[in-house]
Amino acid sequence: MASDPRAELREIVGEVRAYLEAQQELGVEQIDVQWPESPVASPPLTLGEVREELGECTRCKLHPHRTQIVFGVGNPKARLVFVGEAPGADEDAQGEPFVGRAGQLLTKIILAMGMQREDVYICNIIKCRPPGNRTPESEEILACSPFLLKQLQAIRPQFICALGGPATQTLLRTKEPISRLRGKFYDFQGIPLLPTYHPAFLLRNPYEKKTVWEDMKLLLREMGLAAARDTATGQPGNPAFGQSGNWAKEPRSPQ
């Protein structure tokens, strides 16, 4: 027959009361109770330690196809981290994220914000190039995302900018499209995160550059920074962001 938990609790309370009464009769007026110490959280790894833990990774099916792991680049104490999707062919060859055409555009965006690439940190949600530059699959993201998290814990940025749908959806754990998510701040483990379009998307849709620049102005305001003034519009900006020296004159969206 199962015991009655309430009866067991009454028995325990009775034993404690009897013990305290016995101590009181012996002249003990106070009993110090020490709570067990909370375990001390381990300090986050450094970026070098995260890279060492990653090793020559074989945790998913991408590793046979890569030339090298593309870990990340930039300031290890950056206030701002850009998180993209995955390395492309140029990144796979050079071992550095965002060095191809999309990377060159990202550099222009960073310059337009009044910063240098060396001021920020740039990485991707996965570290190996998917075949044919396809979108990363869920098991690949699952295998690699712990290292992205450790990178962010090592850097401890004040702001994150997620570039494109896969990066944003991975960090925010959502399936909402980037078109609905961009232009607003979200909380990522206490860090403000701003999604925007990926630079590769802007190469295919240059009329959206102005949309991304509005997102970057929002980010700059939250960071307490001001960009250079755009000579064409008199608004914060930088002509280097656009083509032909002026992002304000990009082609209009097709009807």
Spatial contact of 152 and 125, defined as CB atoms under 8 Å apart: no
Residue 59's pLDDT is 96
Residue 245's pLDDT is 36
HSE toward the beta carbon, residue 52, CA cutoff 13 A: 5
Residue 222 Cα distances to 89, 142, 162, 225, angstroms: 34, 31, 15, 8
Residue 234's pLDDT is 45
Per-residue model confidence as pLDDT tens digits over 104-155:
999 999 999 999 999 999 999 999 999 999 999 999 999 999 999 999 999 9
Residue 247's pLDDT is 44
Per-residue model confidence as pLDDT tens digits over 1-40:
556 777 787 888 788 787 777 777 777 676 665 555 656 6
Residue 74's pLDDT is 98
> Domains of the chain by range and CATH?
47-249 (3.40.470.10)
Per-residue model confidence as pLDDT tens digits over 169-216:
999 999 999 999 999 999 999 999 999 999 999 999 999 999 999 999
pLDDT > 70 in the chain, percent: 83
Residue 231's pLDDT is 39
Euclidean distance between CA atoms 210 and 226, whole angstroms = 17
Spatial contact of 182 and 215, defined as CB atoms under 8 Å apart: yes
Is the pLDDT at 81 greater than 70? The verdict is: yes
Euclidean distance between CA atoms 205 and 216, whole angstroms = 17
Spatial contact of 43 and 154, defined as CB atoms under 8 Å apart: no
Residue 146's pLDDT is 96
Spatial contact of 44 and 154, defined as CB atoms under 8 Å apart: yes
Per-residue model confidence as pLDDT tens digits over 209-255:
999 999 999 999 999 997 654 533 445 555 546 443 344 344 443 33
Euclidean distance between CA atoms 241 and 60, whole angstroms = 36
Residue 103 or residue 241, greater confidence? 103
Residue 41's pLDDT is 72
